[in-house]
Chain A
Amino acid sequence: MSSDKIIQVSDADFDEKVLKSDIPVLVDFWAAWCGPCRAIAPVIDQLAEEYEGKVKIAKMNVDENPATPGKFGIRAIPTLILFKDGNVVEQITGAVGKTVIENALSKVA
């Protein structure tokens, strides 16, 4: 039931969809067994609607895609990483309220 504005990314297309993106991308690293990931899902959905065209909101399942989380040293989920021009602008670990994510997004949009 997640928003259709959210893009799904994988190890295979991470470079193309995230690092080479024209606009900033917020990636939500998650897994099905993670309660807090589920907890922030509605917030991520809302952000995808609200930031359409300004920031891409993406999700990556860490179970199916182990390489990318490893590259960014992720050992906790949910982790949200905000990328701009291929660089990490901000990294948020754990379930947080919407305002914390909006504060991060305000740096790029």
Chain B
Amino acid sequence: MTFDVIIIGGGPAGLAAAIYAGRAKLGGIILEKMSPGGQVLITDFVENYPGFVEGISGFELVEKFTEHAKRFGITVENGEVSSIEPVGAEFNLNLTDGRTITSKTVIITTGATHRKLGVKGEQELTGRGVSYCATCDGPFFKDQVVAVVGGGDSAVQEAIFLTKFAKKVYLIHRRDQLRAIKILQERAFSNDKIEFIWNSTVEEIKGKDQVEAIKIVNKLTGETSCLNVDGVFIFIGIEPTTHFVKGLVDMDQRGFIKTDEWMRTSVKGIYAAGDCRKKPLLQIVTAVAEGATAAFAVEHDLA
């Protein structure tokens, strides 16, 4: 059997695409390698999604999205796509479990994952003090000292979150000012558990079985110092999950998929939406808008 549309990835973009595709009566499924949610699942609190005036936890928001998507008939199936092969005007999706699924169109909503620092000790001590998820691992650092690396929204929001547990949070940023949105900056600056270390990068994470210290270099003075910490939380941006379509659709240098305003990629019949797509604002609210647009484009192009 051939589907009208397969949506790869069950984050906000994919779930929104499913709502719109379902209401357009397109036959399709969402393929998700874990359970729906994507990066929102690790977000402590979402307070910029319209309609939730008091904010909502990432958990709850995803649950609502998933329930909503199901209502219109597009179900979430467990599966991870390893490659897409164009066959005539259709596509064969090869899954890591050996299955092949055929569809007339594909919407790629695979999102992104956290970027790594790429320094000595990071890999070895991941799960032993090195973390990319404050909501998951924060409670293990009760009354301890942690460092947060980064200066964007995620870094600042998670640093504030970590002050619930840690007795001290160092925020280490390579510039002399934060990139995070102003409201988060104000909250961080007024939090006396947070100490800022500006113009600095982490060069090494040290520790035998657990994180014990980090080596920091001040970019202005070249001075190297060692900071004793029990944990390092890294929020230095994201990497798109697009390796499985490399060479198939056009991407930028970092692997973000290029589309037109209908979310069409360079390959007719393949669309992309959400954080895996090249765009200026990576947010839930833009992801759902693009998911809706992609589903609308599929409906339009199949007609």
* Interface, chain A (partner B; CB < 8 A): 31, 33-43, 46, 63, 73-79, 91, 93-95, 97-99
Contacts and interface: CB of A to CB of B under 8 A. Distances in A.
A66 to B, nearest CB: 10
Nearest to B209: A73
B133 A76 contact: yes
B131 A75 contact: yes
A36 B129 CA distance: 17
Given A76-B137, A76-B140, A35 B78 contact: no
B34 interface: yes
Contact of A38 (B59, B127, B210, B231): B59
A76 B41 contact: no
B58 A35 contact: yes
B209 to A, nearest CB: 6
Nearest to A42: B35
Given A33-B135, A39-B35, A43-B34, 13 more contacts: A35-B41, A36-B34, A36-B41, A38-B37, A39-B41, A75-B129, A76-B140, A79-B127, A93-B127, A94-B132, A94-B133, A95-B34, A97-B34
Interface in B91-136: 96-97, 126-133, 135-136
A76 B78 contact: no
A97 B35 contact: no
Contacts of B275: none
B137 A77 contact: yes
A75 to B, nearest CB: 4
Nearest to A91: B127
Contact of A76 (B35, B37, B131): B131
Contacts of B210: 73, 75
B231 A75 contact: yes
A33 to B, nearest CB: 7
Contacts of B37: 35, 38-39
25 contacts: A33-B135, A33-B136, A34-B136, A35-B37, A35-B135, A36-B41, A36-B42, A37-B136, A39-B35, A42-B34, A43-B34, A46-B78, A73-B209, A75-B137, A76-B128, A76-B130, A76-B133, A76-B136, A76-B137, A79-B127, A94-B127, A95-B34, A97-B96, A98-B33, A99-B80
